[in-house]
Structure 1
Amino acid sequence: MIARLTGVEFGAALEDLTDILHRCVHAGASIGFILPFSPEQARQYWADRIRPDLSSGAVDLFVARDAQRVVGTVQLIPAVMPNQPHRADVAKLLVHPDARRKGLGRALMNALETRAAQLGRTLLLLDTRSSDPSQNLYQSLGFQIAGEIPNYCRNPFENRLEPTTYMFKDLA
């Protein structure tokens, strides 16, 4: 089941969101964090950075649930500048390592796109580590490569820099 999480529901999902982020970083996801990365750091990200944005409406947070817990998430972040009322960013598409290869990433992205269209956002942007297999998912959803930036982010496991690929999708 895919749903847009509200601020009221956030507290009940916090432990699952913490586990997903922690596990995904340890599985090699390049989403801004590097090892060592503790569950406390994962919880802090959700509680201190995302909860306020969710409460203020600055972010839409989507979750995928199985019968018992949240197993995936993605964020839609509408641009706030007056010259970009048509644009939004896609951030942190995460699927728990135990729940992958079941179509949850695709389902989360489809829900995100539906919400973006409801908000009148016709251009979606995202970035992903150039070597990340998620790039294949994004391209299969119609995202196009805008370009690659070398030495953009640090590898989560090693002290070396890697390129990132910027991608976009025109929903118009």
Structure 2
Amino acid sequence: MTPVIARLDAAQLAAHRDELADLLLAVVRGGSSLGFLADLDHDRAAAWWDALVPAVEEGSLALWASRTGDGRLDGTVSWYRESKPNGRHRAELRKLMVHPRARGRGTARALLAEAELAAARAGVLLLVLDTETGSGAERLYRSAGWTEAGTIPDYAADPAGRLHPTTLFYKHPRPPR
């Protein structure tokens, strides 16, 4: 089933914060390295989403959510536009996450394609990201045409607290022809 993807504005982000917190918890509990440890609880996950509202409101953060045909939230992706004068041409892709129950159905690829297309339409010339080396996400980015820029050892801890390397990637988004 093809996911339904929509960009969220600040009001929608605030209105769906608990559902988004549940998604974040499921992804972290599933072992994905998203900057959180296993002790993450619903209140802190919801507070993390709440903290994003101002950035969405002022436009530096673009956020998309994916839903199943029956309306369940199954993924998100976002990118931050650089605000420094010498970097306004680039954005950092962040927090591509897919609920464990929805993996293997093309949700991550669809979210990634939507974020890339929106970046191109917004005039973003360069997207960058980092992801855990050896992860499924790394394989996704490679297969989606992202270019590896290098690997940093012991960059971030997984939810269990073990350090892992991260691989840096970049891509020049292209609008459709």
Query: TM-score under structure 2 normalisation?
Result: 0.91
Contact residue 90 and residue 126 of structure 1 kept, 8 A: yes
| CA deviation string 1:25-81 (max 9, x = no partner) | 11111110012111111111001x211211121100001011222211000111111
Question: Where does residue 164 of structure 2 map in the other structure?
Answer: 162
Q: Shift of residue 171 of structure 1?
A: 2.4
Q: Distance in 2 between matches of 1:98 and 1:148?
A: 30
Question: Where does residue 93 of structure 2 map in the other structure?
Answer: 90
Give the counterpart letter for 2:132 in structure 1. R
Q: Distance in 2 between matches of 1:8 and 1:106?
A: 26
Ranges in structure 2 where 5+ consecutive residues have no aligned partner = none
Q: Shift of residue 105 of structure 1?
A: 0.6
Give the counterpart letter for 1:97 in structure 2. P
Match of 2:27 among 3, 24, 42: 24
Match of 2:78 among 61, 75, 80: 75
4+ runs of 1 displaced by more than 2 Å? none
Q: Distance in 2 between matches of 1:131 and 1:107?
A: 21
| CA deviation string 1:66-120 (max 9, x = no partner) | 1222211000111111111221100000111111111111111111011101111
Question: Where does residue 62 of structure 1 map in the other structure?
Answer: 64
- 1:124 aligned onto 2:135: no
Give the counterpart letter for 2:64 in structure 1. F
Q: Distance in 2 between matches of 1:29 and 1:40?
A: 19
Question: Where does residue 4 of structure 1 map in the other structure?
Answer: 7
Contact residue 77 and residue 93 of structure 2 kept, 8 A: yes
Q: Distance in 2 between matches of 1:52 and 1:85?
A: 19
Question: Where does residue 55 of structure 2 map in the other structure?
Answer: 53
Q: Distance in 2 between matches of 1:8 and 1:26?
A: 27
Q: Distance in 2 between matches of 1:69 and 1:143?
A: 29
Q: Distance in 1 between matches of 2:145 and 2:30?
A: 26
Q: Distance in 1 between matches of 2:115 and 2:173?
A: 12
Residue 86 of structure 2: SS of its match in structure 1? coil
Q: Shift of residue 11 of structure 1?
A: 2.9
Match of 1:139 among 131, 137, 142: 142
Q: How many residues align?
A: 170
Q: Distance in 1 between matches of 2:92 and 2:158?
A: 22
Query: TM-score under structure 1 normalisation?
Result: 0.94
Q: Distance in 2 between matches of 1:85 and 1:38?
A: 35
Question: Where does residue 38 of structure 2 map in the other structure?
Answer: 35
Residue 83 of structure 1: SS of its match in structure 2? helix
Percent of aligned pairs with the same amino acid:
38
